[in-house]
């Protein structure tokens, strides 16, 4: 199992950055106004600030298809943030009422969500991804397959589930092959932590399904430990591979290396999300100054 989470420092934080472009990774700094000094999310992010620059056809696809398929998400301070008072209107985004909504966190190149959307045109598919090249690839697939039931959110998944998606609005939540952050010192960056199930519980309808998959056995064990401990979910045993999850190039590479795939399924029960958990979610993304973390240093891979 994972080692105990170590105290976070500024090197684990992600600074406030501009929203000027999808490829911007520069922090906002000011030497004149103390109120404009760099601030950091109080929560450690599960993704790093790798390059999101678009090239050639990617830029063309973004310009052509982005206005229709990428939801314009109101921002707070950081580029991947969601404004505190923002609420997604799912019916308006998809142009229809009453369709079941399936959220995929970390949709990557869009292989899984595009194939699922083609197989289930009656459902809304809402992939959440932070990396622009992956979104551009998803846009390619949407155009090639003629899909009308996919809309994309480019934002931090924890904030999307924590406040942007309305309560009890999702029929399913998919998290397939999240970054395992395999080094022990990086385990604190993993998406599936004790603070995450209340967010998943908030957006899922009673009876809704939470589906996960990983090719990292130790992370699978952590997922089971964390979600089994949540009062909001009941594990569905012995489900095997989820038939709606297509074999992606990422999974194929893992299998070729001899990795074992673990599929997990949980059902949202009737326990309401507690007031304490809602309060914790509300303040998890507060911003703090670097001096409160004891250092002003920020590692390059933490910038986003």
What residues have CB less than 8 Å from 192, skipping those under 6 apart?
A: 175, 178, 212, 219, 222, 223, 226, 227
Q: Environment class of residue 167 by beta-carbon count within 10 Å: exposed (0-12), middle (13-18) or buried (19+)?
A: middle
Q: Residue 14 to residues 81, 85, 152, 158: CA-CA distances in angstroms?
A: 11, 21, 23, 14
Catalytic residue among 20, 33, 89, 179: 179
Read off φ and ψ for residue 40, nearest 5 degrees: -130, 145
DSSP assignment letter at 239: -
Told to judge if 238 belongs to the known catalytic residues of this protein, a careful annotator would answer no
Q: Residue 127: helix, strand or coil by DSSP?
A: strand
Angle formed by the axes of helices 111-119 and 132-145, to 10°?
30
Closest to 128 (Cα-Cα) out of 96, 92, 88: 88
Using DSSP bridges, classify how beta strands 233-235 and 262-268 pair: parallel, antiparallel or unpaired: antiparallel
- CB-based contacts of 205, cutoff 8 Å, min separation 6: 168, 169, 170, 171, 268
Going by the DSSP 8-state scheme, the letter that residue 13 receives in this structure is: S
Q: Distance (Å, rounded) from C-alpha 106 to C-alpha 110?
A: 9
Residues with catalytic function:
179
């Amino acid at each position: 199992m994972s080692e105990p989470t170590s105290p976070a420092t500024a090197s684990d934080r992600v600074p406030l950055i501009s929203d000027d472009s999808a490829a911007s990774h520069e922090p906002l700094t000011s030497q004149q106004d103390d109120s404009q000094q760099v601030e950091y999310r109080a929560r450690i992010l599960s993704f790093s600030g790798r390059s999101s620059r678009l090239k050639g056809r990617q830029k063309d696809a973004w310009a052509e298809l982005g206005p229709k398929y990428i939801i314009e998400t109101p921002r707070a301070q950081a580029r991947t943030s969601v404004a505190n008072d923002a609420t997604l209107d799912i019916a308006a985004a998809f142009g229809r009422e009453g369709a079941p909504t399936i959220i995929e966190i970390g949709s990557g190149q869009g292989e899984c969500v595009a194939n699922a959307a083609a197989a289930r045109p009656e459902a809304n598919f809402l992939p959440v991804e932070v990396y622009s090249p992956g979104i551009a690839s998803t846009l390619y697939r949407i155009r090639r397959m003629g899909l009308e039931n996919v809309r994309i959110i480019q934002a931090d998944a924890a904030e999307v589930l924590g406040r942007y998606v309305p309560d009890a609005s999702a029929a399913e939540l998919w998290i397939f092959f999240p970054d395992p952050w395999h080094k022990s010192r990086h385990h604190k960056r993993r998406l599936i932590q004790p603070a995450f199930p209340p967010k998943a519980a908030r957006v899922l309808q009673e009876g809704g399904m939470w589906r996960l998959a990983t090719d990292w056995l130790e992370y699978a064990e952590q997922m089971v430990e964390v979600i089994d401990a949540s009062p909001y979910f009941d594990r569905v045993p012995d489900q095997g591979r989820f038939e709606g999850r297509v074999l992606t190039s990422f999974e194929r590479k893992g299998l070729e290396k001899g990795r074992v795939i673990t599929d997990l399924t949980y059902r949202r029960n009737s326990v309401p999300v507690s007031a304490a958990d809602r309060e914790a979610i509300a303040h998890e993304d507060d911003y703090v100054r670097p001096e409160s973390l004891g250092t002003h240093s920020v590692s390059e891979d933490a910038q986003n």
